[in-house]
């Protein structure tokens, strides 16, 4: 799939951020709501769905396998499902664009259906390894042929009935866990996933909400998630909370730009996703939760964030799974903090949309930060609140979070930082730059 023409963007300090904003619906929950709606018997209605390119790729793939998915005039999405086991043979390859989540979770769905499915993606996604998902699905009986290195394009020849497995995750990965649980939906017996380290639990919450027979136990410090197959899912009304990964950019921006004071409404604060806010508070950030509540089984609050002097910390390794997507923007916060921040234990960053450790190290060094790079993270000597020098170019490597993180860095830079391509931001946050203008008074 060809990538759109690059869209370079330059930004330097604009002054304080102010105002009340909303962020797009949670990407992880949006994917799962569409998938489980497509497997339910009946009509599900989803409000607050993220309408970024990644989620739209999931919707298109599910339509290609028989589900009816329509966006109504009021912005709600209606999904008429085909039932567990009812996915149809797609007429063409499923084009995943840049979405690793779509690819890995849908591989799990189709692996236990008697259909053959080809997955393709853009240049960035085609570099990302899929072996960690291929391994358990192959144990269940699926026949998967991948490109060299376990990469896309790949073909999944599903099997039904599949073989139930007990699978211990070799690495902390919510995507692998979710792929196995989704495959287990159409597998006779009980499929189990053992998690040595807890990961985001959106799949467990939503599967239970749709009526799956699912249990979660903790034994010996491990989580054991068990799902009984050949399920019949019930349609649901889903309200998607705001994505904490998207809110993270504004939380850091307000923290590092003097005199800033913003409110980010309706942010999902699932404890398996909220690690960055824990770390920012430990660094001295002024983040206040307003009207904490539960929406659709997920904890939600409005966040008021005001500028504060940040101090360096050593980021606890056990928080990595709950903030793995937020490390690029954490690196920016650390570059402006007082002292030496150590952010390690995050090897997973090497195989995201880009090598986020190397890419952020290069970009922040160019902007004037002092960085030491390790295999599993970075050590950053902060500037104690002094702005970055800027006058730098940053390569996004087709990675939406790199582009957004370096945009925020530009808000704390004397001279402009130029990002080579901001087009990938549309995969998760199409309105990002409009919100930037709103918060900085340039809308």
pLDDT at site 3: 60
Adjacent-strand bridge partners of 20: 263
Q: Is 255 annotated as a binding residue?
A: no
Q: What is the pLDDT of residues 163-205, one digit of tens each?
A: 999 999 998 899 999 999 999 999 999 999 999 988 989 999 9
Which residues, in sequence order, are CB contacts of 1 under 8 Å at separation 6+? 95, 97, 120, 121, 122
- Could you read off the pLDDT of 289-331 as tens digits, one per residue? 999 998 877 899 999 999 999 999 999 999 998 999 999 999 9
Q: Residue 321: its pLDDT value, please?
A: 86
Low-confidence ranges of the chain (pLDDT < 50): 1
pLDDT digits (tens, 9 = 90+) for 319-366: 998 999 999 999 999 999 999 999 998 988 987 888 999 999 999 999
CA-wise closest residue to 312 among 283, 276, 343:
283
Residue 28 marked in a binding site: yes
- Residue 2 has a pLDDT of 54
Q: Is 100 annotated as a binding residue?
A: yes
Q: Is 173 annotated as a binding residue?
A: yes
Nearest to 324 by CA among 341, 309, 346: 346
**Confidence at residue 365, expressed as pLDDT on a 0 to 100 scale:** 97
Which residues form the catalytic set? 325
What are the boundaries of each domain within the chain?
9-25+241-439, 27-239
401 annotated as belonging to a binding site for a ligand: yes
Rounded to whole angstroms, the Cα distance separating 74 from 80 reads: 18
Instruction: Calculate ∠ Cα 175-301-341, nearest 5°.
Output: 65
Given CA atoms 200, 203, 205, 206 in this order, what sign does their dihedral have?
positive
For residue 161, cis peptide bond before it (omega within 30 degrees of 0): yes
Architecture of domain 27-239: Alpha-beta prism (3.65)
For the structural domain made of 9-25+241-439, what CATH number should be given? 3.65.10.10
175 has binding-site annotation: yes
Nearest to 84 by CA among 48, 52, 64, 108: 108
Residue 293 confidence (pLDDT): 94
> Does the annotation place 273 within a ligand binding site?
no
Query: How many Å separate Cα 115 from the centre of its chain?
Result: 28
Quote the radius of gyration of the chain (alpha carbons, Å).
21
**pLDDT given for residue 188 in this prediction:** 98
Give the model's pLDDT for residue 414. 97
352 annotated ligand-binding residue: yes
What distance separates the 2 farthest-apart alpha carbons in the chain? 61
How many degrees, rounded to 5, is the angle at CA 100 between CA 268 and CA 275? Answer: 35
The pTM for the full model equals 0.86
Side-chain half-sphere of 322: how many Cα atoms within 13 Å?
19
CB 398 within 8 A of CB 354: yes
Cβ neighbours of residue 372 under 8 Å, at least 6 residues apart?
Answer: 378, 379, 380
Helices (H) and strands (E) in the chain, counts: 12, 22
Q: Which DSSP letter does residue 361 get?
A: H
Residue position matching structure tokens 């990938």: 424
CA angle, residues 362, 256, 20, in degrees to nearest 5: 120
């Amino acid at each position: 799939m060809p990538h759109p023409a690059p869209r370079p963007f330059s930004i330097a300090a604009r002054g304080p951020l102010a105002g009340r904003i909303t962020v797009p619906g949670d990407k992880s929950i949006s994917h799962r709501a569409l998938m489980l709606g497509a497997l339910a018997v009946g009509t599900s209605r989803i409000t607050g769905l993220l309408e970024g390119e990644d989620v739209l790729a999931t919707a298109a793939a599910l339509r290609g396998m028989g589900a009816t998915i329509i966006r109504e005039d009021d912005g709600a999405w209606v999904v008429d499902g085909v039932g567990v086991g009812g996915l149809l043979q797609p007429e063409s390859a499923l084009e995943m664009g840049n979405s690793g989540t779509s690819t890995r979770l849908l591989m799990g769905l189709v692996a236990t259906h008697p259909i053959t499915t080809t997955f393709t993606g853009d240049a960035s996604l085609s570099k990302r390894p899929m072996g960690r998902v291929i391994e358990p699905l192959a144990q269940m009986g699926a026949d998967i042929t991948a490109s060299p290195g376990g990469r896309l394009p790949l073909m999944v020849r599903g099997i039904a009935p599949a073989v139930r497995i007990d699978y211990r995750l070799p690495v902390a990965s919510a995507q692998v866990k979710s792929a196995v649980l989704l495959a287990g939906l159409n597998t006779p017996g009980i499929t189990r996933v053992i998690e040595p380290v807890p990961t985001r639990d959106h799949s467990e919450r939503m599967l239970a909400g749709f009526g799956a027979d699912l249990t979660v136990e903790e034994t010996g410090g491990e989580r054991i998630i068990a799902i009984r197959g050949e399920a019949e899912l019930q349609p649901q009304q889903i309200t998607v909370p705001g994505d904490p990964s998207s809110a993270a950019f504004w939380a850091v921006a307000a923290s590092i730009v003097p005199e800033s004071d913003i409110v980010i409404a309706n942010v999902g604060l699932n404890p398996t996703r909220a690690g960055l806010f824990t770390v920012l508070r430990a660094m001295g950030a002024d983040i206040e939760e307003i009207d904490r509540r539960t929406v659709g089984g997920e904890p939600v609050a409005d966040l008021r964030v005001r500028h504060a002097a940040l101090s360096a910390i050593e980021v606890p390794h056990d928080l990595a799974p709950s903030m793995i997507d937020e490390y690029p923007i954490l690196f920016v916060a650390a570059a402006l903090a007082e002292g030496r921040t150590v952010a390690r234990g995050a090897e997973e960053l090497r195989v995201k949309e880009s090598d986020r450790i190397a890419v952020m190290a290069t970009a922040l060094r160019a902007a004037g930060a002092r960085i030491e790079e390790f295999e599993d993270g970075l050590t950053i000597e902060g500037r104690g609140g002094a702005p970055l020098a800027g006058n730098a170019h940053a390569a996004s490597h087709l990675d939406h979070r790199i582009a957004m993180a370096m945009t925020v860095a530009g808000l704390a830079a004397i001279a402009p930082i130029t990002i080579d391509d901001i087009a990938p931001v549309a995969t998760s946050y199409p309105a990002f730059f409009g919100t930037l203008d709103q918060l900085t008074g340039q809308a």
